[in-house]
A = this chain, B = another copy of it.
Amino acid sequence: MKNTFGNSFAVTLFGESHGDMIGAVLDGVAPGVPIDHDYIEKQLRLRRPAGTISSARVEPDRYTIVSGVFNGKTTGTPLCILIPNENKRSEDYTTDSFLPRPGHADLTGYNKYHGYEDRRGGGHFSGRLTAPLVAVGAIALTALRQRGITVGTHIKRCAGIPDRDFRNAQEDLALLNNTDFAVLDPDAAIKMKKAIDAAAASGNSVGGVLETCVCGLPGGVGEPWFDSVESVLSHALFSIPAVKGVEFGAGFSICDMQGSQANDAMRWDAGGVRFLSNHNGGILGGISTGNDLIIRIAVKPTPSVFTEQETVDLTKGQNATLRLHGRHDPAIVHRARVVADSVTALALCDLLALRYGTDWLRGAD
């Protein structure tokens, strides 16, 4: 379905980095979900580059919701959110030569769109399109909270520096909610920022791993084939630019365990099932267990670096070297954190709507 994700609860994304506007349409949202503008703005602010460790173009993200909201609540009809591109460049680019930037989508966009694509600033591939995704994601996160489902993400690793694991998920999520730089261990946070600064100083960039936790998801959500919770979440998460890996629970490290260790033992507790570990990340057979979901995504280092790079000139059909100028992010992993939250929330809303119907996220009546 290309630029639409979801069946019962769906998001459609549009726009280019230097076009007039970017935006998203959210369809299938339950009627009556309150629109919390402070929260939307907070989420957008966390996505924006800011401070010394982000040096790219800064935009205020002055969004407007032009449909689907009435008297401060969702109507249940499609909600369209628009964000104008205020910093866009009006100039066109030259066609005398075309040097695709390594690590970017310049080459693949050209292959796919035959040169008709708007290449300025990455066009439709730009990470800037995550802004409307975060805006509608904030609405999905609000809807989930009405049902007691909370989502939060921390930087599990950046430039090789690890954060501590989640300990008490509820407390850790509350902590992350009040932190701009989403790291649980304050010492790790300091080290990571230094590493980002160092990469920036050398004209280079660093990547990282984001770990997302979902608390309160009911058991029984997801499908064995082919819409497992892992399938639907990974489909959405791999749409985030720069993500090259997705894993759940112990993830790739579960491959080195033995079965007796990998299995999560169960105990009867207060009328329900409690797990003694969570190597399966809250999912068995593609279906939620009721345990916390644990998701990690690999975010590659920003491909815009200032060192000289080898590329080709597609217009002239020959080798070329490229040296980028201007302002670029030395890391995006700290900004992608709210994108991970948003995309996770959007995908969960679709899975929940399939099982409980589109009205369920109105909250308990």
- A75 and B21: CB pair below 8 A? no
Asked, given contacts A219-B107, A235-B235, whether A31 binds B114 with beta carbons under 8 Å apart, the answer is yes
Cβ of A264 < 8 Å from any Cβ of B?
yes
- Count of chain copies: 4
Asked, given contacts A254-B207, A310-B265, whether A117 binds B234 with beta carbons under 8 Å apart, the answer is no
CB of A158 to closest CB in B, whole Å:
8
Binary flags per residue of A289-303, CB closer than 8 Å to B gives 1, else 0: 110000010111111
CB of A4 to closest CB in B, whole Å:
5
Bound together, the chains give a CA A75 to CA B117 distance in angstroms of 4
- A207 and B262: CB pair below 8 A? yes
- A302 and B266: CB pair below 8 A? no
- B25 and A25: CB pair below 8 A? yes
User: Across the interface, which residues of B come within 8 angstroms of A23, CB to CB?
Assistant: 66-67, 80
User: Across the interface, which residues of B come within 8 angstroms of A305, CB to CB?
Assistant: 258-260, 263
User: Across the interface, which residues of B come within 8 angstroms of A344, CB to CB?
Assistant: none
Segment 106-127 of A: residues with Cβ below 8 Å from B? 107-109, 111-114, 116-118, 123-125
Q: Which B-chain residue is minimally distant from A248 (CB atoms)?
A: B244
Q: A105-B224, A252-B296 are in contact. List 16 more A-B contacts (CB 8 A).
A: A2-B354, A15-B67, A15-B80, A22-B67, A100-B266, A105-B284, A107-B266, A112-B222, A205-B260, A226-B235, A226-B236, A230-B238, A231-B239, A244-B280, A246-B246, A263-B309
